[in-house]
Amino acid sequence: MAVILDGKALRDKILLNLKKDIDLLTEKPKLSVILVGENPASVLYVNNKKKTAEKLGIISEVIKFPADVEEEILLDKIKELNNDDKVNAILVQLPLPEHINKQKVIDTINPKKDVDCFTSVNYGRLAAGLKPYVYPCTPKGILLLLDEYGIDLDGKNVVVVGRSNLVGKPMSLMALGRNATVTTCHSHTKNLSGITKTADVLISAVGEVLIEENMVRENSVVVDVGIFRDENGKVRGDVEFNDVENVVSYISPVPGGVGPMTIASLMLNTYELYMVQKSEVHSDLK
């Protein structure tokens, strides 16, 4: 039986420590979230982020716009937040409606307030092996989870399934930054199971039932980033958990694995941006 990579327990531990740090601050960090439209998943995520922030003493505001908002209005709001010294972190919840130029909106965020690491500046720095202001939340959460269980990536075969800008691609870059040998698989990959079976650490971020027992290596580590509802309405991930857990050494559950770690990373990032802005020193970026 595999050891469960318990994201909830680690989230609680991280947030407890973070709260202690935030309690020491007289002026509190502030996270501003922009939500366009009423996509139910986005509303749920945003409410969760706000609730968690408030428990920690992070000031949090959700700025809502209708789905048909003009792009210019969003850009103006972001510029206003950029210029507001009280706002330390800005998050534009994705997806955005089709008529909005997503990258233009994201690149209007001051990179110093880019809590997701989505701006071209921060993403480019990540790709170039330089430090962004903060690292993207989901891959950062996954590395924190692996660190907690003493799983070192140096020299290991890491296979990432999925190449999204949100998870797969930055995850591959960050695993490379940890000196792993990284393979990124996607919908055009031939012989997927032949590749996944070479993984010491397999990270699946696809959003459909995909990873079966015969696709994983014995005693490997499996991280499941997928989260969706099956035909019975049950929340599940990419991995056939009940079968795969008998084969591998470590496995992250859904729910309770990567999801809580993403939120923990967002809170850490908000605090880190606050500290950078307060001190105005940053080792690489001046």
Q: Which residues bind ligand GUN (CB under 6 A)?
A: 91-94, 116, 137, 166
Residue 76, both tokens: 């103006």
| Residue closer to ligand GUN (CB basis): 116 or 200 | 116
* Half-sphere exposure at residue 50, Cβ-oriented, CA atoms within 13 angstroms: 15
116 part of the active site: yes
Per annotation, catalytic residue among 30, 49, 113, 156: 49
Q: Compute the least distance from the CB of residue 87 to ligand GUN, in Å.
A: 15
Least CB distance to ligand GUN at residue 231 (A): 23
Cβ neighbourhood burial of 38 (10 Å; 0-12, 13-18, 19+):
exposed
Nearer to ligand GUN, 33 or 244 (CB): 33
Computed on alpha carbons and rounded to an integer, the radius of gyration of the chain in Å comes to 19
The yes-or-no answer on residue 93 being catalytic is: yes
Q: How far apart are CA 1 and CA 40, in angstroms?
A: 36
CB of 116 to ligand GUN, least distance (A): 5
Q: Which of 6, 93, 140, 238 is catalytic?
A: 93
Report in angstroms how near the CB of residue 213 gets to ligand GUN at its nearest.
Answer: 29
Residues whose CB is less than 8 angstroms from the CB of residue 183 and which lie 6 or more positions away in sequence, other chains included: 157, 158, 159, 160, 195, 198, 199
Is 114 marked active-site?
Answer: no
Taking the least distance from each CB to ligand GUN, the nearer of 197 and 256 is: 256
* CA–CA gap between residue 137 and residue 180 (Å, rounded): 19
Positive/negative CA dihedral, 74, 69, 47, 241: negative
From 116, 200, 224, 238, the catalytic residue: 116
The minimum distance between CB 18 and ligand GUN, in angstroms, equals 18
Closer residue to ligand GUN (CB): 203 or 215: 203
User: Rounded CA gap, 37 and 201, in Å?
Assistant: 37
Residue closest to ligand GUN (Cβ): 94
Look at phi and psi of residue 205 and say left if phi exceeds 0, alpha if psi is from -120 to 50, else beta.
beta
Contact present, 266 and 49 (Cβ < 8 Å): yes
User: Of 41 and 130, which has the nearer Cβ to ligand GUN?
Assistant: 41
Return the number of the residue (15 or 244) whose C-beta is nearest ligand GUN. 15
Cβ burial 73-112 (10 Å sphere, 16+ → b, else e): ebbebbeebeeeeebbbbbbbbebeeebebeebbbbbbbb
From the CB of 189, what's the least distance to ligand GUN, in Å? 23
List residues with catalytic annotation. 49, 93, 116
